[in-house]
């Protein structure tokens, strides 16, 4: 049985409904009355003066015709719950035996209505046949009382009321007092008589809620007083003149949103009292009569004054928690609450700096909340037990001083004039003071403090560095965030505990000195006015200075550093780098970097494997010759430099595997001759000549003779002409080699007795945007067995492509607008892009006919492809999983 929100309507106007949310399923009251009148005995039952055998064995027989054929038409005509109730109550009960329960129960003076959906089968059956059902229609339930009790214990009150009309056994089981200890009349239309009746029926109820009940008079209060086991009472949205409570066992009393002239409470077991939003009241709470009171909530009680609190403080000596938020008439002057552990004074307009004297007398105080105290100008407290304090939106507070050894949490936010903070604590580990725009002075004596966040504290000055350096009062500080502290100009930290420092957005910093041997992470994003930086010593493993265009001097001593990025330090001319474990050094866009600076850096960092000198035009031959000290150098980037020859590189970097020469437009055509004539850089595998100006013959010989290259990039090379490896497999003949003086060890070995050219190691060839390529021919004789990726996109004049590569898997011909002929013998090709090409369906079908493993085909923006072409391609090539088109 599920509670679907239908109300149980009761005579006299009392209505109950299932509580939404079901926070406590047993706090709702939906029971009308379980006292009924019995039907007459059936003479054929064979039982006189004793219970039937079936009933003794807890077996109930329920017949759907028990309502009686004479009232079925009336039931069918009832269009509402009230109408159905009237029919049930006013109609006579048919004769039935004791184990057949009639649906026309009358529970005392209250009739219980069952939802209309239960009646539909009854009415339909009556229309079909006005006689009783056969024995086959009988519903038998063998349930013991204990089992029923267990099942009913998980039901809500609405479901219990529905179960009560099944049979007498269920009726008795559902009426058990265990299920009705929590009587919830919240927002119910109940009369005083009905409430009294419920209290009489369930005298052992422990919880009562009569919030929002329209009738609240002396009779109701007397009925409440009759509940001797009552432990919790909730009243709300009611109006009284004088209220007196005298309940011996009551431990929780809540008066919410009530209007009361005077309240007097005498409950010796009372522990919690809530008067939240109870207006116009003069409260009388005697400590002699409530000696166990520990919790008192008087929030939003506009008439509560200091006199009220003074009386409470003198009598309720066991009070530990007080909530007086939104009480505008209290200032706590001459109020002493010595046993308080929790005090909440949010939005109390009368709280001022003078109120701190009274609060200071609460020596046991652990939690203090002062949010939105608009007249509070300063807070100075010395409380040994204080653990948590909140100061949010205190618009006038300017000074905060806390001395408490146990303080572990402090929340200070949106206090625009707060300029001085002094905190002493042995337990505080995290301090967040974000967006304190006026904060200029900070004094901390926190032996356990590990994390500090001062983000957007725009007025913090350089003196903050002394607070967080050794001897400043935070010996265990590990993380410091000073993001967007725009008043910082010179930052000097000397700390043996600091491991993380963030200065992002501190644009005014010009000088940075960090002597933090255990510093592992530093963020300087946005420090674009930094002129001098010193990390001596530092435990950094990685340092990225971001873009510091004004940085001219850099000193680093980091024994553990492995990666250093100095991108965008445009005026860096003096750099002292002592990082013996450094493996990656990036000097990109350091336009003032000189040879002597580079030589000193590589001398002190002999383990460098990757060196980036992109856009370092001041680096010359002397600096490149110094690279001979880097025995482990495998990657060198000289892109966008003014070099004319690479002889220093060939002589110094014998172990080089990756060489990048993008946009080196001043290189001579003979600059790369040592690669294919003299066998220089035998270990090189990746070469990037994108956007260069090498002549066509130099590019042709490089591709033909350097068969050991695995990755070659020639993007944007205007001098890159046809890629035709059809003659001699793309290798120069003997006469041609003699004339040009080319050197190819593998080819010389082959030419002595082998006809086949050497096998190429090329895996990736990128020729994007080469306007002078017209033909690409890579036959099997070219021995490109390892070629996996070929990119010829944006080659506007490319007309013919003929490729036979066994292992080619990705081919990109996007936007080759002049492409006319495409022949592919690539059985392992998986992805082909023809976006923007003018090939028609027949040309595409012919091109991929030998690509048996093709899975992805891109024909977007191909003007000669139509929707029907997509369907035919799918049917012809079932291995195609994805076809991308604009149709």
| Closest CA relative to residue 446, chosen from 471, 476, 426, 421 | 426
pLDDT in tens, 495-527: 999 999 999 999 999 999 999 999 999 999 999
- Using an 8 Å Cβ cutoff, are 384 and 363 in contact? yes
DSSP secondary structure letters along 570-614: TT--EEEEE-TT--EEE-TT-TT--HHHHHHHHHH-TT--EEE-T
| Per-residue confidence (pLDDT) for residue 119, from 0 to 100 | 35
pLDDT tens digits along 313-325: 888 888 999 999 9
pLDDT interval class at 788 (50, 70, 90):
very high
**Is pLDDT above 60 for 620?**
yes
What is residue 818's predicted lDDT score, i.e. its pLDDT? 94
- Angle at which helices 218-225 and 192-201 pack, to 10 degrees? 10
In the chain, % of residues over pLDDT 90: 55
Locus of tokens 């340092």: 543
Instruction: Classify the phi-psi angles of 376: left when phi > 0, otherwise alpha if psi is within -120 to 50, otherwise beta.
Output: beta
Check if the beta carbon of residue 839 is closer than 8 Å to that of residue 816.
no
DSSP code at position 728: G
State whether the Cα torsion 314-319-321-322 is positive or negative: negative
pTM of the model: 0.70
Interval 379-410: pLDDT, tens: 999 999 999 999 999 999 999 999 999 999 99
pLDDT at 727: 60
Q: How far is CA 248 from the centre of its chain?
A: 50
Residue 135 has pLDDT above 60, yes or no: no
Q: Where are the domains of the chain?
A: 8-180, 186-303, 331-428, 733-884
- Supply the pLDDT for residue 886: 86
- Which parts of 451-587 are beta strand (E)? 451-453, 479-481, 490-494, 500-502, 511-516, 521-523, 532-538, 542-544, 553-557, 563-565, 574-578, 584-586
Question: Which one is predicted more confidently, 887 or 491?
Answer: 491
Condensed to tens digits (0 to 9), the pLDDT of residues 56-111 reads 344 334 333 333 334 333 333 333 333 333 333 333 333 333 333 333 333 333 33
Q: What's the confidence (pLDDT) of residue 324?
A: 93
Taking Cα atoms as reference points, which of 431, 360, 349 lies closest to residue 396? 349
Per residue, the 3-state secondary structure of 679-706, as one string, reads CCCCCCCEEECCCCCCCHHHHHHHHHHC
Q: Write the CB contacts of 743 (distance below 8 Å, at least 6 apart in sequence).
A: 676, 677, 678, 679, 705
- What is the reported pLDDT for 592? 92
Measured distance between the N- and C-terminal CA atoms of the chain, rounded to whole angstroms: 56
Lowest mean pLDDT of 469-483, 627-641, 650-664, 714-728, name the range.
Answer: 714-728
pLDDT at residue 565 in the model: 94
pLDDT-derived band of residue 258, with 50, 70 and 90 as boundaries? confident
Q: Tell me the per-residue pLDDT of 19-40, one tens digit each, with 9 for 90 and over.
A: 333 333 333 333 343 333 333 3
Mean pLDDT for 296-321 is 88
pLDDT of residue 184: 87
C-alpha of 490 from chain center:
36
pLDDT for the residue 193:
87
pLDDT for position 420? 95
In this predicted structure, what is the pLDDT of residue 757? 67
Mean pLDDT of 171-180: 89
- pLDDT at position 210 is 86
Closest CA to 466 of 436, 483, 499, 488: 488
Q: What is the pLDDT of residues 482-497, one digit of tens each?
A: 999 999 999 999 999 9
Alpha-carbon gap, residue 740 to 102, rounded angstroms? 115
Strands 259-265 and 635-637, bridge-based pairing? unpaired
Q: pLDDT value at position 29? A: 37
Residue-averaged pLDDT of the chain:
81
Percent of the chain at pLDDT above 70? 78
What is residue 23's predicted lDDT score, i.e. its pLDDT?
Answer: 35
- What number is the average pLDDT over the span 732-741? 46
What is the rounded distance in angstroms from the CA atom of residue 114 to the CA atom of residue 449?
65
Phi, psi dihedrals of residue 335, rounded to the nearest 5°:
-105, 130
Name every residue whose Cβ is closer than 8 Å to that of residue 116 and which is 6 or more positions away in sequence: 78, 81, 84
Backbone angles phi, psi at 685, to 5 degrees: -125, -30
How many residues belong to the chain?
Answer: 887
> How far is residue 504 from each of residues 26, 260, 766, measured CA to CA in Å?
56, 57, 39
What are 485's two structure tokens?
């502290």
CATH pick for 733-884 out of 2.70.70.10, 3.80.10.10, 3.50.50.60, 3.30.1490.20: 3.80.10.10
HEC secondary structure over 843-855: HHHHHCCCCCCCC
> pLDDT tens digits, residue range 681-733?
999 999 999 999 999 999 999 998 899 999 999 999 999 989 988 765 555 54
Contacts of residue 10, defined as CB under 8 A and 6 or more positions apart, other chains included, come to 16, 32, 110, 111, 112, 194
The pLDDT tens digits of the residues spanning 347-372 come to 999 999 999 999 999 999 999 999 99
Q: Give the Cα separation of 402 and 385 in Å (integer).
A: 12
Q: In the predicted model, is pLDDT for residue 755 greater than 90?
A: no
Per-residue pLDDT tens for 264-294?
A: 778 888 999 998 887 655 544 544 568 889 9
Q: How far is CA 146 from CA 1, 51, 803, in A?
A: 19, 19, 85
The pLDDT-based confidence of 239 (bands split at 50, 70, 90) is: confident
Q: CA 367 → CA 313, 343, 364, 784, distances in Å?
A: 18, 6, 10, 76
Please report which confidence band the pLDDT of residue 139 belongs to, taking 50, 70 and 90 as the band edges: very low
């Amino acid at each position: 049985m599920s509670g679907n929100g239908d109300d149980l309507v009761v005579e006299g106007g009392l209505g109950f409904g299932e509580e939404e949310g079901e926070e406590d399923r047993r706090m709702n009251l939906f029971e009308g009355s379980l006292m009924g009148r019995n039907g007459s005995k059936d003479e054929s039952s064979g039982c006189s003066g004793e219970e039937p055998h079936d009933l003794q064995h807890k077996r109930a027989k329920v017949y759907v015709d028990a309502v009686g054929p004479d009232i079925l038409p009336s039931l069918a005509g009832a269009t509402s719950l009230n109408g159905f109730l009237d029919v049930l109550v006013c109609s006579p009960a048919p004769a039935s035996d004791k184990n057949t329960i009639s649906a026309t129960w009358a529970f005392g003076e209250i009739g219980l209505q069952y939802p209309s959906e239960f009646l539909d089968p009854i009415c339909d059956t009556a229309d079909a046949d006005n006689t009783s059902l056969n024995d086959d229609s009988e519903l038998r339930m063998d349930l013991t009382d204990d089992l029923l009790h267990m099942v009913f214990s998980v039901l809500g009150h609405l479901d219990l009321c529905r179960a009560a009309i099944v049979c007498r056994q269920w009726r008795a089981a559902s009426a058990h007092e265990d299920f009705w200890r929590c009587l919830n009349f919240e927002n119910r239309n109940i009369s005083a008589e009905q409430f009294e009746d419920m209290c009489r029926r369930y005298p052992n109820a422990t919880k009562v809620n009569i919030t929002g009940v329209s009738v609240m008079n002396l009779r109701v209060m007397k009925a409440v007083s009759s509940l001797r086991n009552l432990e919790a009472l909730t009243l709300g949205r009611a109006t009284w003149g004088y209220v007196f409570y005298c309940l011996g066992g009551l431990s929780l009393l809540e008066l919410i949103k009530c209007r009361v002239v005077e309240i007097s409470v005498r409950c010796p077991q009372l522990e919690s009292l809530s008067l939240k939003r109870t207006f116009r009241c003069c409260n009388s709470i005697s400590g002699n009569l409530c000696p166990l009171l520990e919790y008192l909530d008087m929030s939003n009680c506009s008439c509560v004054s200091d006199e009220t609190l003074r009386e409470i403080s003198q009598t309720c000596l066991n009070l530990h928690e007080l909530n007086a938020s939104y009480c505008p008439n209290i200032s706590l002057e001459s109020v002493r609450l010595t046993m308080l552990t929790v005090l909440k004074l949010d939005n109390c307009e009368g709280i001022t700096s003078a109120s701190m004297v009274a609060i200071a007398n609460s020596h046991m105080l652990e939690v203090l909340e002062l949010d939105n105290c608009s007249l509070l100008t300063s807070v100075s407290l010395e409380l040994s037990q204080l653990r948590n304090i909140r100061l949010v939106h205190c618009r006038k507070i300017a000074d905060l001083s806390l001395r408490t050894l146990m303080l572990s949490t402090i929340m200070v936010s949106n206090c625009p004039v707060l300029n001085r903070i002094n905190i002493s604590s042995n337990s505080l580990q995290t301090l967040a003071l974000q967006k304190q725009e006026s904060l200029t002075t900070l004094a901390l004596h926190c032996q356990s403090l590990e994390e500090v966040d001062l983000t957007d504290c725009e007025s913090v000055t350089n003196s903050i560095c002394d607070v967080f350096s050794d001897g400043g009062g935070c010996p265990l500080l590990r993380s410091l965030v000073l993001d967007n502290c725009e008043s910082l100009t010179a930052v000097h930290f000397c700390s043996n505990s600091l491991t993380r420092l963030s200065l992002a957005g501190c644009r005014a910093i010009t000088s940075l000195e960090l002597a933090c041997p255990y510093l592992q992470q530093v963020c300087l994003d946005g420090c674009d006015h930094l002129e001098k930086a010193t990390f001596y010593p530092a435990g950094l493993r990685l340092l990225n200075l971001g873009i510091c265009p004004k940085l001219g001097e850099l000193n680093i001593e980091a024994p553990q550093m492995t990666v250093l990025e100095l991108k965008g330090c445009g005026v860096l001319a003096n750099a002292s780098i002592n990082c013996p474990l450094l493996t990656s050094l990036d000097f990109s866009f350091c336009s003032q970097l000189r040879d002597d600076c580079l030589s000193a850096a590589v001398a002190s960092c002999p383990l460098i494997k990757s060196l980036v000198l992109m856009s370092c035009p001041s680096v010359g031959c002397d600096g490149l010759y110094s690279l001979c000290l880097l025995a482990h150098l495998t990657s060198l980037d000289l892109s966008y430099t003014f070099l004319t020859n690479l002889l220093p590189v060939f002589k110094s970097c014998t172990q080089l595997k990756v060489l990048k020469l993008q946009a080196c437009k001043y290189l001579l055509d003979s600059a790369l001759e040592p690669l294919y004539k003299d066998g220089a850089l035998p270990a090189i595998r990746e070469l990037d000549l994108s956007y260069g100006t090498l002549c066509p013959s130099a590019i042709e010989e490089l591709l033909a003779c350097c068969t050991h290259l695995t990755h070659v990039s020639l993007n944007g090379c205007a001098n890159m002409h046809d890629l035709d490896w059809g003659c001699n497999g793309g290798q120069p003949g003997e006469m041609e080699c003699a004339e040009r003086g080319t050197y190819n060890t593998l080819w010389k070995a082959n030419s002595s007795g082998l006809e086949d050219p050497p096998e190429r190691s090329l895996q990736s060839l990128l020729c994007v945007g080469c306007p002078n390529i017209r033909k690409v021919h890579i036959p099997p004789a070219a021995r490109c067995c390892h070629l996996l990726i070929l990119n010829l996109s944006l080659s506007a004049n490319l007309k013919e492509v003929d490729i036979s590569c066994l292992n080619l898997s990705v081919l990109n011909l996007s936007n080759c607008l002049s492409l006319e002929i495409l022949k592919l013998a690539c059985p392992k090709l998986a992805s082909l892009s023809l976006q923007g090409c003018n090939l028609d369906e027949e040309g595409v079908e012919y091109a991929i006919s030998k690509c048996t493993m093709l899975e992805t085909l891109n024909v977007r923006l191909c003007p000669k492809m139509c929707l029907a072409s997509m369907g035919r391609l799918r049917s012809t090539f079932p291995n195609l999983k994805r076809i991308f088109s604009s149709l």
